[in-house]
Structure 1
Amino acid sequence: MPRLADLAELVRAPAALSVPGDVVAGAAAAGTLGRRTPALAAASVLLYWAGMAANDWADRRLDAVERPERPIPSGRVAPGAALGLAAGLTAAGVALATAAGGRRAATVAVPLAAAVWGYDLAAKSTPAGPAVMAACRGLDVLLGATGGRMLRAVPAAVTVAAHTWTVTALSRREVSGADAALPLRTLAGTALVAAGAAAPRVAPPVRDRRPGAGAEPPGRAPRRGPAAALPALLAGWYAARYGAAQARAAADPRAGRVRAAVGAGITGLPALQGALTARAGAGLLGLAVAAAAPLGGRLARRISPT
């Protein structure tokens, strides 16, 4: 029987702090923040943990050579137990999402679960790997938006997906090391992601209900005081935190530096999610989401998020 600490290492438990913010950012963008948002966030965490367990099951032979200290190759968790845990967490995540959000949530949770397993079992080692993982995170954002106008959450989903692409591209070189061009490319992507999260949100068109009137042109969402600067501040924090790690990897692209940049991308994601949440008008909630970034960084010293 595996110990709880070994299972926590298997599913990269601290890295799950980067997950609820996807759902929160999607819900904020779609205007659906409410009682079911925490349940959808919990479902998202279960699917994330399932993906981590399935990842190590699929990689168990490779890890025996490259990372023998991981739970499965070290013998602390049996392969069958890891696979069973991954399947059980997947079923629980989809069931919880469906119970909380009904059929609309299920139409996102099921493809999300399929994408997670597809990445672990087939796409990870192919050129499509970063795109598939980015799709997983984009769907995760849309899961939070299923109770409202999902189209409004698409920009947030694309932003998180783009960030995920950079992290996944780096992660493919965290054992072997990379050339300096890779972290420079992902650093450029991070700058674009941060700029997008900091940009003022365009308000949806306002429809004049008078007979014969159409929709007025969209305008800028009104912001005043500190709330106007909060998305940019949080996006800047995200860019500085993750960008600095990528810059160090570009200067010295050995495996350790690349792995550190991947970890910074995972634990720094809540700052980006917080910026997106604040950009949608939920400033205090955005700060709460972003607070998971330093907490995740501290926990990552005990259990690796990669």
Structure 2
Amino acid sequence: MAIPFCAAAKNLAQKKQIRLSSSNVSSLKPYFQLARPANIVTAIADILAGMTIAQFVFEPAPNSAYWLIPATIGLYGGGVVMNDVFDAQLDAIERPERPIPSGKVSVQAAAILGVSLLLLGVLAAAQFSILSAEIAFTVAILAVVYDRFAKHSAFWGPLTMGLCRGGNLLLGMSAVEPSLSEWGWVALVPIAYIGAITLISQDEVHGGKRRSLYIAASLYTTVHAVQFLVALQQGNAPLAFLLIALHAWLVGRPLWIAIQNPIGPNIGKAVKSGVLSLIVMDASWCVVFGNWPLALGVLLLLPLSIRLARIFAVT
């Protein structure tokens, strides 16, 4: 009888361990929700696009420039966590399902997580260069300014968030510092793009006005036009056009639906599409500057981001 008893005890211990493991995962999930993992994947794509624009030579061997990837993970994750910290009272009314108002994460714990991620982002960038650390620090400050002060402004909100994303592209370009003087202006493109998404998102809860959506559409069009003109200059227009057209369709279709019927759910879909499609825009930059193999690699981040978006909220 000893053997069956031992086997039963072992099975019971294994089941208990599985329950404990599941419990630990469940307790961590709200913290992952705060950090918006699907969005973080798009930030990684920004870094890869920036490095491509800078003509960085990607090699399998260790390179300190790859510290820029954990840097952007920290910066983006910290920025969106702090967004929920500052919005805790508003979310209690408009987004009660979010981790903080639902009571799954305390404001204090979220604040510690957000600040820690921002600091880790700056420190990771410093592992490559002082310039990268300075850019990362600027992005961190801009993220907090957006979260705390600028977000609800029709002008400063889109501009500040756009500057964050433009800074992220510059962070990638800092992998080859001389490139910043020649191609640093390209950071204006994600400023326009994120400005468009931010304009759309301002009316996500209660529905929006068509005027803001039309402005967003014009900003999207400007982004695609600039990318195509640079592709022409670089001699990579045919292949780049395919990805630019794909990106235009991905962001344009849900935006057009929102323009036709600017209710909250339609606007939310337009925002989600705009955020996730950043990966396609970054892949387009890779093709624009002649690195189509990396463009394919960046595109592979899209299904990962979509998968994560089904588990964790994007907005």
TM more than 0.5: yes
**1:229 paired residue among 227, 234, 238:** 238
1:104 aligns with 2:134: no
Matched residue type, 2:300: A
Between 1:119-128 and 1:257-266, the stretch displaced more is 119-128
Between 1:2-11 and 1:47-56, the stretch displaced more is 2-11
Deviation (angstroms), 1:289: 1.1
Show the counterpart of 1:253.
262
**2:145 paired residue among 118, 125, 133:** 118
**1:29 paired residue among 53, 70, 88:** 53
4+ long deviations beyond 4 Å: none
1:244 aligns with 2:243: no
Matched residue type, 2:149: A
| Distance across 1 between alignment mates of 2:225 and 2:311 | 32
| Distance across 2 between alignment mates of 1:279 and 1:36 | 25
Q: How many residues align?
A: 284
1:263 aligns with 2:272: yes
**2:161 paired residue among 124, 129, 133:** 133
Deviation (angstroms), 1:33: 4.1
Matched residue type, 1:221: Q
| Distance across 2 between alignment mates of 1:221 and 1:262 | 31
| Distance across 1 between alignment mates of 2:200 and 2:65 | 31
Deviation (angstroms), 1:103: 0.9
Show the counterpart of 1:52.
80
Between 1:88-97 and 1:287-296, the stretch displaced more is 287-296
Question: Any conservation in 1 of the 2:158–2:195 contact (CA below 8 Å)?
Answer: yes
| Distance across 2 between alignment mates of 1:7 and 1:276 | 32
Name structure 1 gaps, 5 residues minimum.
203-219
Matched residue type, 2:242: L
1:280 aligns with 2:289: yes
Larger radius of gyration: 2
Show the counterpart of 1:180.
210
Deviation (angstroms), 1:290: 2.3
Deviation (angstroms), 1:83: 0.1
**2:97 paired residue among 69, 82, 97:** 69
CA distances 1:33-73 after superposition (whole Å, capped 9, x unpaired): 44334320221111100011100000000000000000000
- What SS does the corresponding residue of 1:91 show, helix, strand or coil? helix
- What SS does the corresponding residue of 1:72 show, helix, strand or coil? coil
Deviation (angstroms), 1:156: 2.9
CA-based RMSD: 1.7
Question: Any conservation in 2 of the 1:235–1:275 contact (CA below 8 Å)?
Answer: yes
Matched residue type, 2:238: A
CA shift in 2, pair 1:222/1:184, >3 Å = closer
TM-score, normalised on structure 2?
0.86
Between 1:271-280 and 1:175-184, the stretch displaced more is 175-184
CA distances 1:248-272 after superposition (whole Å, capped 9, x unpaired): 1001100111011000010011000
TM-score, normalised on structure 1?
0.88
Deviation (angstroms), 1:296: 1.9
Deviation (angstroms), 1:182: 2.0
Question: Any conservation in 1 of the 2:227–2:285 contact (CA below 8 Å)?
Answer: yes
Question: Any conservation in 1 of the 2:234–2:289 contact (CA below 8 Å)?
Answer: no
Question: Any conservation in 1 of the 2:247–2:280 contact (CA below 8 Å)?
Answer: yes
User: 1 or 2, which has the higher helix percentage?
Assistant: 2
Name structure 2 gaps, 5 residues minimum.
1-23
Q: Percent identity?
A: 30
Question: Any conservation in 2 of the 1:234–1:290 contact (CA below 8 Å)?
Answer: no
